Structures are given as structure tokens and as C-alpha cells.
Amino acid sequence: MQIQTGLDAGVEGALLKAEVRDLDFYYGAFHALKRVSMPIYDHKVTALIGPSGCGKSTLLRCFNRMHDLYPGNRYAGGGIVFHPDNTNLLAPDVDPIEVRMRISMVFQKPNPFPKSIYENVAYSLRVRGMRNKSELDDRVELALKGAALWNEVSNRLQELGANLSGGQQQRLCIARALASDPEIILFDEPTSALDPIATASIEELVTELKEKVTILIVTHNMQQAARISDFTAYMYLGEMVEFGVTDQIFIKPQKKATEDYITGRFG
């Protein structure tokens, strides 16, 4: 897609990590994404905003092929090109498992497995065939530190993940997503089930994480998008209305529709 003027300042020095190109997606007969295009910049936080049902979560779930789990879902044209290897993540010959090994995800509601804290994080490593105990220990510790959870759980790694508080559970899920060194982490409204304090800690974490990984986040909360993202995409009714540097989108949106949504006149 054509990158809009006013974007250059923010894009300077940022490399493309992925590009959504003219993506069409259907749930059965419902046309959920309509020729959506947008860039994802490396080591940046990109936020997807828009009213409920606008397709932002649908777009997010294309990135790790979650839609493949359910019958009737169809990628109907275009794709998501992953850089630097130029793989189209949605190509039929690309294994969804390969895609999920490169792009991990944090869900709306914390969903730790009913296993120990340690096993929750180690699981992403185990599916990648890691068996060496000391290597697993190191990587689990690193991931828990990366998710700012290590200090709280280091002396109770064998307890159930479900015994943690909601905010801690979500950070555990972030540690799980982080453990395997993914190239992108997808966040699907990660704070919508959390209280304000837990939300603040997750937001802080997300901004720290972009040193290590590219982040794509769906959020209902516009202040959140403004606080933590470098780029923002506004979607409406399955279409990409506007994409730009976050400051520009929030201060000086190019489109009337974006301005209406952001100022609360609509949505």
C-alpha cells in the first residue's frame, strides 16, 4: 500500500518485518477482511484499533493461522509477506505450525495450561524438541525475567499457573510466548480482563519487549494504543481505513472517519 505522507519521520531507520497485502478473508460467507494492506515494522509496536466487529482480531489471527483450526474459514486473496525470507504466511503450502513457531500469541483472557508455572513456559520449548534439563531451566528463567515475573515466582515454579493472580497469569502467558524467541508476538486485547494496575504492568512490559521482538497488538482502549504503540492502524467494517505513525494518527489523522473514532464521536 501507499505509505502516507507525514509517516517518513517515524519510518526512518525502521525495517519492514511483514507486509499485509490486499488480504481478503471470509468466515463462511461473511467477508470479514476486505483487501486489507498494512506494513509491520521490525522492533516496533503496531496497534490495531477500531470498533467491535471491525476485523482487527480477525486480522491478528491471520498472522498465526489460528483460523486454520476451524472449518469454513477462508483466506481468499492477497497474503502476509514475512521478511526477510519473503514467505507468504498464508500460502497453502506453508505449514501453519511453521508460522506459529515463528509468531507467538498472547490471548485476551489469560490462558495458562493447568500445569506448573515452569511447565507452562517450558511447553513452547518442548514442542520445539528441547529436552536438555539445564537448557530448559535457563530458557524458562530468561523468559520469566523477560516477562517481569521471575522475582515473583522464582521460588514456586512447581505451583500451578492458575494459582497466580490475573495479571501474573497474563505475564506467564507472555513468558510462554517469549520463551521460544519468536519474531513477532501477537497480543489480542491482552489487558481487557485485567485491573488497572495489572494493565499498567503489562503495558510497560510491552514497551520493553520491543527491544527483543516485533509486536502487533489489538486493543479496544485508544489511550493504550496512544501510550504504547509506534504505529497505529484504524480498521472499520473489515477495511483498513488508515495506517500511520501513532502520534500522527492521534493528533492529525488524514481521514475524517479516523478522526471521528478517535475523538469519540463514533464507536
Partner 1 sequence: MLQATDLNAIRAIITRAKRWDLFFSILGVLSLMVGVLTFTVLFVDMAIQGVPRLTLDFFTSFPSRRAANAGILSAWVGTVLVMLVTALSAVPLGVAAGVYLEEYAPKNWMTDIIEINISNLAGIPSIVYGLLALGLFVYYFGFGQSILSAGLTLALLILPVIIVATRESIRAIPQSIHEGSYACGATTWQTVSDHILPYSSAGILTGVIIGMARAIGETAPIITIGALTFIAFLPNAPFAGDPPAGLFDWILAPFTVMPIQMFNWTSRPEAEFQINAAAAGFVLVFMTLAMNGLAIYLRYQLRKNIKW
What burial letters (b/e) apply to 226-235, b meaning 16+ CB within 10 Å?
bbbbbbbbbb
Shortest separation between residue 27's beta carbon and partner 1, angstroms: 14
Q: x/- string (CB under 8 A) for partner 1, residues 45-74?
A: -------------------x-x--x-x---
Select from 26, 27, 107, 150 the one that contacts partner 1 (CB under 8 A).
107
| Beta-ladder partners of 36 | 23
**Residue 137 CB partners (closer than 8 Å, separation 6+):** none
Instruction: Give the chain's radius of gyration (CA, Å).
Output: 18
Shortest separation between residue 34's beta carbon and partner 1, angstroms: 25
If the CB atoms of residues 121 and 262 are measured against partner 1, the closer one turns out to be: 121
Q: Is 165 in the site for partner 1 (CB under 8 A)?
A: no
Considering only the stretches 29-37, 47-55, 176-184, 229-237, report the one whose residues sit in contact with partner 1 under the rule CB under 8 A: 176-184
Considering only the stretches 14-22, 29-37, 79-87, 101-109, report the one whose residues sit in contact with partner 1 under the rule CB under 8 A: 101-109
Select from 57, 73, 124, 224 the one that contacts partner 1 (CB under 8 A).
124
Rounded Cα distance between 107 and 94, Å, is 23
HEC readout, 139-169: HHHHHHHHCCCHHHHCCCCCCEHHHCCHHHH
Rounded Cα distance between 76 and 90, Å, is 10
Contact 184, 63 (CB under 8 A): yes
Select from 104, 168, 199, 258 the one that contacts partner 1 (CB under 8 A).
104
Q: Is 100 in the site for partner 1 (CB under 8 A)?
A: yes
Q: Is 224 in the site for partner 1 (CB under 8 A)?
A: no
Contact 173, 112 (CB under 8 A): yes
Q: Is 180 in the site for partner 1 (CB under 8 A)?
A: yes
Select from 42, 123, 201, 259 the one that contacts partner 1 (CB under 8 A).
123
Q: Please choose, from the candidates 206, 197, 196, 175, the residue with its C-alpha nearest in 3D space to the C-alpha of residue 47.
A: 206
Rounded Cα distance between 92 and 189, Å, is 28
Q: Which residues bind partner 1 (CB under 8 A)?
A: 64, 66, 69, 71, 97, 100-101, 104-105, 107, 109, 111-114, 123-124, 126-128, 160, 162-163, 173, 176-177, 180
